[in-house]
Amino acid sequence: MKKTLAISKLLILEIFRKKDFYVAFVLTGFILFYAARLHFYNASNAYRYLLDMGLFLSVFFASFLTVSLAARQFPSETQAKTCHVLLSKPVSRNQFVLGKFLGSFSAGLTVLFLFFAVLMGAAVSKATDFSWVLSLQTFYLFGLSLMILTAMTIFFSFFMTTTSNISISLALFLVIHLYGARLRHSAEAIQEPLRQVILGVNQAIPHFGFFDMRQRFIHGWEPISFRLILFLTAYAFCYSAFFLFAGCAIFQKKNIP
């Protein structure tokens, strides 16, 4: 376990060495500062506008930075020949995969927390009835979706180039998030056997939209139940475990040049 944690610590430091993080952080802070100063005829509309924009920027930049970090781990280690050094420590291939996942996810979660903290600071200054429970639930659920996205990107990295992995992972995350819930309804209007194929895809894909609490958070609705939180946690862990086990299986059989 110490070897796995040692690998993951390097990735947490790596994301803060990149200029991408600081550019995104400053840009988000500037946009939220500007949005917080806007005045509308209805004060609640200004507050909701601020939350909506802030959540979008936080999730977008955290997802992009995490995918960019996770996607280049195995290809860069292979090209630099450092993969052989790590595996001769000795570090097992499973520890390598788990360390890369934990490091990428921890780095992404830290980035998400920092962006979210900026948003909370701007939101508290505008709100009169701010809900910390909804805030924590929103952050936690977005963190779970980030965990699945990280595991999926690590899995793709064993048979895709870095550029392709980043593009496909982000595209899948966006498309499933926006249209995943409509697949089942779309299948009703399609004839067999294509209908069963679409229903099968609907069952197989990780529905990132399950973790989206933006509307509930923006409009100040009631927090979700603890039972639902537990279900979504188990859901995220199952999909993450599946991608990691599949990645380990591929890596075990892969010849490293």
- pLDDT, tens only, 46-103: 667 777 777 888 888 889 989 998 998 888 877 766 766 666 667 778 888 898 899 8
Domains of the chain: total: 1
**Residue span of the structural domain in which 153 resides:** 2-253
Query: Structure pTM?
Result: 0.86
pLDDT of residue 120: 81
Evaluate if residue 4 carries a pLDDT over 90: no
Q: Which residues contact 24 (CB under 8 A, 6 or more apart)?
A: 61, 64, 65, 115
H or E element: which one contains 221?
none
Q: What phi-psi label fits residue 160: left (phi over 0), alpha (psi between -120 and 50 degrees) or beta?
A: beta
Phi, psi of 192 (to 5 degrees): -70, 155
Confidence band for 173, pLDDT divided at 50, 70 and 90:
very high
- Residue 91: per-residue pLDDT: 73
Task: Give tens-digit pLDDT for 142-161.
Answer: 999 999 999 999 999 988 99
Sort residue 254 into left (φ over 0), alpha (ψ -120 to 50) or beta: beta
> Terminal CA-to-CA distance of the chain, rounded, Å?
26
Tokens read off for 131: 């809900």
Question: Could you give the angle at the alpha carbon of 148 between the alpha carbons of 172 and 17, nearest 5°?
Answer: 90
- pLDDT of the residue at 229: 95
How does DSSP assign 67-109, residue by residue?
HHHHHTHHHHHHHTTHHHHHHTSS--HHHHHHHHHHHHHHHHH
Give the up-direction half-sphere exposure of residue 256: CA atoms within 13 A in the CB hemisphere.
20
Q: Which of 193, 29, 210, 178 is nearest to 115 (CA)?
A: 29
CA 160 to mean position of chain CA atoms: 19
